[in-house]
Amino acid sequence: MNDTNRALNRVFIFVVGLILLGVGAAVAALPFWDWWASRWQEFGGSANTVLTDAFAASTMPGTDFSWWLVAAVAVLLLVVIIMIMIIASVGGGGSREIYRRPISKQDGSSDNVLVDTSFATEALTHSLDKRPDLVGSTVGAFTVKRQPVLHLGVTPRQGASPRLIAEQAGILLDNLARVVGDAPATCLTIHSGLRAKLGHDQRVR
């Protein structure tokens, strides 16, 4: 329920997972491969020597701190700031309202018309819970690009028609739009999986 790039997210997760898998495999091979263990010790010793010399050569005058330590803290702080900016830009947080529109009064002042998420939740679930072809439904709202978006999730029973369920859900959303005066931005999700397979009617033969 946000506008993040899914392909970029998956590529990032794949690359990070591949790196972690490589590091884990390298560490796991140490007890079983003597040549690799010796190379690892040589590399560790060389790396330790290089880092020690680098920190010693970059010590700040009058202190025991190295410029490298200050740079590392600055980089970490920059990464945290960038992550916070990304999260703030894509939104995705929960919203207590699904509809907000400004209106002008006769005296020239302005006000806002608000529709609470609980109103949509009660109206939609009351209608969806009566359907025998659904295992369950969920209604919520999220903020995407500073705009509230209504999310309707339904889980059909095994054998139910997703197309028919989507059409019926669309009718309910149209009815909701007539009640509130305008159609809020909406995302419909049709779930599947174990719950849908197990959610069948029990019959005694």
Sheet holding 147-156: strands in order across?
134-144, 147-156, 186-190
Domain stop point among 90, 105, 137: 90
Mark whether 113 and 149 lie in a shared domain: yes
Q: What is the pLDDT of residues 101-154, one digit of tens each?
A: 666 666 666 676 677 788 888 888 888 888 888 888 888 887 777 777 888 888
Q: What average pLDDT does the segment 13-36 reach?
A: 88
For residue 156, what is the domain's CATH number?
3.30.70.1350
Residue range of the domain that includes 185: 97-198
What is the rounded distance in angstroms from the CA atom of residue 37 to the CA atom of residue 51? 21
Residue 189 has pLDDT above 90, yes or no: no
Query: CA 203 to CA 196: how far, in whole Å?
Result: 17
pLDDT higher for 171 or 198? 171
pLDDT at 117: 80
Tell which phi-psi region holds residue 121, choosing left (phi > 0), alpha (psi between -120 and 50) or beta.
alpha
**pLDDT of 54-110, one tens digit each?**
777 777 777 777 788 888 889 999 999 988 877 666 555 566 777 666 666 666 666
Q: How confident is the model at residue 195 (pLDDT cuts 50, 70, 90)?
A: low
Tens digits of residue pLDDT in 152-178 = 888 888 888 888 888 888 888 888 888
Does 162 lie in the same domain as 77? Answer: no
90, 119, 141 — which closes off a domain? Answer: 90
The helix-helix angle for 117-128 and 162-180 (nearest 10°) equals 140
Which pair of tokens denotes residue 1?
Answer: 């329920």
Give the C-alpha separation, 129 to 111, whole Å: 35
Q: 139 and 83: one domain?
A: no
Q: What pLDDT score does 201 carry?
A: 39
Confidence of residue 200 (pLDDT cuts 50, 70, 90): very low
The first and second tokens of residue 42, run together, are: 């040589």
- CA dist 43 and 22 (Å) reads 16
pLDDT in the model for residue 48? 84
pLDDT of residue 1: 47
Do 77 and 111 lie in a common domain?
A: no
**End position of a domain, from candidates 90, 120, 140:** 90
Contact between 107 and 92 (Cβ < 8 Å): no
Number of helices (H) and strands (E) in the chain: give both, helices first. 6, 5
Report d(CA 155, CA 149) in Å as an integer. Answer: 20
Q: Is the pLDDT of residue 47 over 80?
A: yes
Residues 157, 190 within the same domain: yes
Tokens of 2: 């946000």
Domain co-membership, 113 together with 39:
no
pTM strictly above 0.75 = no
